[in-house]
Each structure stands twice: as structure tokens, then as C-alpha cells.
A = this chain, B = another copy of it.
Amino acid sequence: MARWRMALDDVYELMSTLRAVRRLRPDPIPDDVLHRVLQAAAWAPTGGNMQPWRVIVVRSPERKAALADIYGPEWAKYVEFSRRRYEAMAADDEAKEKLHRTLAAGDHLADHLAEAPVILMFVADPRMMAITDKNLDRISMVGGGSVYTAVQNTMLACRAEGLGCTLTTLHCIREPEVKAALDIPAEWATLAMIPIGYPVGKGHGPISRQPVEALAFDDTFGAPWSG
């Protein structure tokens, strides 16, 4: 029992300090560290234990540069969109300052993406999935249930290993080019691009999230949860 109490503290500290780290040093990641991070991904649960995902560990300068060339312009568009949306909102100075810092870190990532020692590209094959929301009258999302569990394990492992990382999906907008750059077969989809590396600054730390009371409901949607 004492043993698991200790584990609890560590696990919760890990989760509560896993923030997006966008300023990465180019230093290489030792093979044994990388292997443990990938092993964490492999342990994740997936529908029917099919493990319908694969991860491409991109390390060559040429392939990383190809991904950076695709990502850069999409990031620039996203920044424009975010700044305009934000100016239309009546946000206070503190919130504006925070957005500014986040976007500056994102600019840094976009400018230096090819210098990250490793870019992980998670791909998945929908033919290996039973996507239960595929026939509904809304956009499908359930396919992600067999991939982002592994992605979250990956990021938690990075945090535990002292590696910085951030989950990005902007590359999907130009998926055909991404697939060409990494020889990904037609049937496979790209779900997550995760640049990882040792942080320039202190890396992980406090995160800003809504409280449980804003996210959990009691028995029915909208009923305040106070348990």
C-alpha cells in the first residue's frame, strides 16, 4: 500500500506537469531512452487489442526538413487565425500576454522543427479499427481512441524521461505531402506529429487547466458535480 501511495504521488505529479514544450535542444536522444518512450506507447490499450497504429521515428535531416517545410506555412496560417480571433475577443492583458508567449514558443518550434532530434509521426490504419461512430450524423472521432491512448503514454514517458514534447495535428491539413515525405501507404492516416527533445529551458512545469468541477457532471449532462 505504501508503495502505491508513492506511485500515486509520482504519477499525478507527472500528469500535472506535462505541458507543451516547444523549445527543444538539438542534442540526440539516447537509444535506450527512446526505446522506453516507444515501449510506453506500445503498452497503451486499443480497440480489440488490435494496435492499429505505427510510429515513424523521424531522425534524418532530410525527412525532418521535409516535415518542417510542410508544417511551417500551416503554423503561420494558424497564428494569423489565432491572433485575429483573439483581437475580436475582449480579453484582458494577462490573457493576451499568455497567448503571445504561447504563439512565440510555437513560432520557435516551427522555425526549428528540423533541428529537433526526433519527430514522432503516429499513423493508423482504419481497416484495423471498428469505428463505432462512423455511421452517425456527426464527424467521426472514435478512431482516435485506438491511437491517442498511445500518444498520451508517449508524452507521459517523455515527461518522465525529462524530454520535452508537444502534440501537433496541423500537418494533417497537408496529409498527402506528409505521406509522400515518409513513404506512408495510401490506406494509412496520420494522427499525431510529436517533436521531442531535451528542453532549452526547464521544460515541464505548471499547467493551466479548468477545475474538475467545470468538466465533470453528476449523473446527467449539465448537472453540477460536487462529489
Contacts and interface: CB of A to CB of B under 8 A. Distances in A.
Interface string A193-227: 00000000000000111111001111111100101
A150 to B, nearest CB: 8
B56 A217 contact: yes
Contacts of A14: 7, 11
A11 B220 CA distance: 33
B141 A173 contact: no
A4 B212 contact: no
Contact of A133 (B10, B55, B57, B172): B172
Interface residues of A, number: 101
Nearest to A15: B43
A40 B54 contact: no
Interface of A: 4, 6-8, 10-16, 18-20, 31, 34-36, 38-45, 47-49, 51, 53-60, 63, 82, 123-124, 126, 131-136, 138-145, 147-149, 151-153, 155-157, 160-162, 167, 169-173, 175, 182-185, 188-192, 207-212, 215-222, 225, 227
28 contacts: A8-B36, A10-B10, A11-B11, A11-B157, A15-B43, A15-B44, A18-B45, A35-B212, A43-B207, A44-B152, A49-B208, A57-B227, A63-B220, A126-B138, A132-B173, A133-B191, A136-B172, A139-B143, A139-B189, A142-B169, A142-B172, A143-B144, A145-B151, A148-B148, A148-B151, A148-B152, A182-B221, A183-B221
